[in-house]
Amino acid sequence: MIPIASQQTLTVMDNCGNFAVIECNCNHVEIIKPAENDSFVVAANGFTFQKMIEYNKHGIDDWRSDERYSVAYNALKENRNCFSFELARDILSGKYGFMCQYERDKGADTVWSVIYDIKNKKIFRVEGNPVRKKFVEDTRMKFMQKERMK
């Protein structure tokens, strides 16, 4: 077991397509799976699981996380039958509402964003704000082929 030293949200997925968001800190860990009628999970800096919300007041860097969570959740809910790279890019680029459009003159901005296309085993990243920069395929990480895993 690895000790947890800070508050974090982690999104994980296995080779079978099971996925979840893990909200954790040194006191508590919660695993959030998709709701019964949803085929997605959402995370945005702050905790959303009821037992974890109390920890949000302990200095977590939330940067409008409630608003960003709602934007992502609602966009995914509206487009539940057409998940795609383009949808993820449009959400992160602010086409569905505030996501990364920070006012740079106030000292805030997005450093990087990433989209994992699990089905096609591709990773796309943008170094900087996706409002101003384009996602590019990141080929540094090689996915294991199923044949090699047997």
pLDDT tens-place string over residues 16-26: 889 999 999 88
What integer pLDDT is reported at residue 79 of this predicted model? Answer: 95
Query: For 1-5, 9-13, 91-95, which range has the lowest pLDDT when averaged over its residues?
Result: 1-5
On the question of pLDDT at 105 being above 60, the answer is yes
How far is residue 88's CA from residue 71's CA, in Å, rounded to a whole number? 12
What integer pLDDT is reported at residue 125 of this predicted model? Answer: 96
On the question of pLDDT at 93 being above 90, the answer is yes
Residue 44's contacts (CB-CB under 8 Å, 6 or more residues apart) are 9, 65, 66, 68, 69, 72
How far is residue 68's CA from residue 65's CA, in Å, rounded to a whole number? 5
Q: For residue 146, name the pLDDT band (cuts at 50, 70, 90).
A: low
pTM for the model stands at 0.82
